[in-house]
Structure 1
C-alpha cells in the first residue's frame, strides 16, 4: 500500500488484475488482444467477489477488454455493484509482440527485446505503446476515479497496475518490469500521491 498525505485527503483505489487466460498460462504478450478467461481464470474471478466482500467498495469500473470485463462482472454480482467501463484501463499495446511468447520475440527481435528489458521507458515494442504515453492515460484515469464515490474497485491489467504503482510511489518508469502482479492480484493505493513540501 502507498500512503498519501494531501490537504483534501486521499481516495482509496483498489486495483484488481483480471483472472488468468490461456495466454497468461502460456506466457504470451496479450496487450490489446481480446482474450477470454481460462477455467482457472473464471474460478479466480468468482473468488475475487468473496475476497472483496469487506472492501466497502462503492464504485466498480473495468477495462472493456473481455478478460477484465468478465472478472468485473463476477465481482459486481457478489458485491451488487454495477460495472462501468473506461478505455484508459486497457492493457498496454505490445504491437508486433502480441500473441507471441518471450522466446518467440527473442528469436525474431533479439535487440529490441534486450532494449525493452534494459530501458522499457525508452524502447517500446515495435508498434507498441510508449510507457510515458500509457502512464499519462493511467494518471488521468486515476485522477477521475479518485473523484468517484470511494473506495473504488478498478479491474484492469498487469501493465496498468505496474504504472499506477510507479506513479503513486513517484518512481521512474524505468522500473516498470521490476514489478510483478499475479492474475487476480490486488493493489490498494491512496490517490493522489503525497506531495513533499519544503519548509
Structure 2
C-alpha cells in the first residue's frame, strides 16, 4: 500500500473515500428518507466526527457532499477537523424514493415490489420511485467527473446509503440486502480511479 503522499505524487489516479452521513432521526426510527431530510442525532454528529478522525492521515484535498442537510452537516463537521474546502455536488443527492419517502421500512417490506426496489438494482420504475439502476448510473457519472477534475488528489465524498448501494452494485458488489443492513451511518468505502482506463476499483484501505 502506497503512503498517501506518494500516491498523490507518482500516480495518475484519484483516491475517493465514500462516506455515508451520520445517523439521523429517521435513520434511528428506520423510516425511508430518500430526498426528504431529518436532523442528525447526537450519535450522528459523533459519527461524522469519526469520519474526519479516521481520514486525518489520508491528506484529504477536498470534501464533496450531497446537498441534502444530513450529508451537508456531516461534511461541515468533517471540514472543521480537516480544514479543507467543501463543495456541493447536486448529482450526489440520495435516490428519489417517491411515495415511499417518510414511510417506515417495516411497512414497506410487506409490499410486492420491495425486494426488487430496495434489495436489487434494476431498471424497474414503479410509481414515482427513481429506478435503482438510474440512481447508480447518476452517482457513477458524478464521481467520474469529480475524479477527472481532481487527478492525483484525494477526495472525501459524503452522501447516502441507498445511493451507495446502487453505485457499488455497478462496481461489482452485487449484494441482495437493503442499505440499512449493508452500510451503517459513518461507514467509509475506498475507491481508486484510474484516469487512463476511466475505471473505478474498490480498495481495501486500512483506516
TM-score (norm 2): 0.79
Question: Displacement of 1:120 after TM fit?
Answer: 4.2
Partners of 1:85 and 1:54 in 2: how far apart?
A: 23
**1:59 is aligned to 2:62:** yes
Pick one of 37, 40, 45 that aligns with 2:40.
37
The alignment's C-alpha RMSD in Å is 2.2
Q: Which has the higher contact order (CA 8 A, sep 6+)?
A: 1
| Structure 1 partner of 2:132 | 131
**1:71 is aligned to 2:74:** yes
Contact 2:117 2:131 in 1 (8 A): no
| Structure 1 partner of 2:96 | 93
| Structure 2 partner of 1:18 | 21
The secondary structure found in structure 2 opposite 1:93 is coil
Question: Displacement of 1:115 after TM fit?
Answer: 4.2
The unaligned stretches of length 5 or more in structure 1 are: 1-7, 195-199
After superposition, the Cα gap between the structure-2 partners of 1:32 and 1:103, relative to the gap in structure 1 and judged at 3 Å, is same
**1:121 is aligned to 2:122:** yes
Question: Displacement of 1:190 after TM fit?
Answer: 1.0
| Structure 2 partner of 1:186 | 188
The unaligned stretches of length 5 or more in structure 2 are: 1-10, 194-198, 202-207
Contact 1:94 1:125 in 2 (8 A): no
Partners of 2:50 and 2:130 in 1: how far apart?
A: 32
TM-score (norm 1): 0.82
The secondary structure found in structure 2 opposite 1:193 is strand
Question: Displacement of 1:113 after TM fit?
Answer: 2.1
Partners of 1:155 and 1:176 in 2: how far apart?
A: 23
| Structure 2 partner of 1:83 | 86
After superposition, the Cα gap between the structure-2 partners of 1:176 and 1:69, relative to the gap in structure 1 and judged at 3 Å, is farther
Contact 2:62 2:156 in 1 (8 A): yes
